[in-house]
Amino acid sequence: MVTAQNIKHWIELHLANSQAFVEGDGHHFTATVICADFMGLSTLERHRRVYSALGNRMQADIHALSLKVLTPEESSRGGER
């Protein structure tokens, strides 16, 4: 079974200089991902990068993932884009 810690590890491993905060029950997860590389990217492109970091696990192991994707600056403003 996939854990929140697994997802955190996979995201931080594949997105350089990122921080992931993940919660979930083994099938449904919520993640806040903070990454400087998100600067200038649309929300859709930011989501694509996180899904890419998770690879096939999104289809096989993770039933649902809710994402909040921020730059460090957005995070310091309380999540405002």
The whole-angstrom separation of Cα 63 and Cα 81 is 27
The whole-angstrom separation of Cα 12 and Cα 77 is 22
Buried-exposed string 25-48: b where 16+ CB fall within 10 A, e elsewhere: eeeebebbbbbeebeeeeeeebee
Q: Which domains does the chain have, with CATH numbers?
A: 4-76 (3.30.300.90)
Q: What's the confidence (pLDDT) of residue 80? A: 64
pLDDT tens by residue, 33-70: 999 999 999 999 999 999 999 988 887 888 899 999 99
The whole-angstrom separation of Cα 52 and Cα 15 is 9
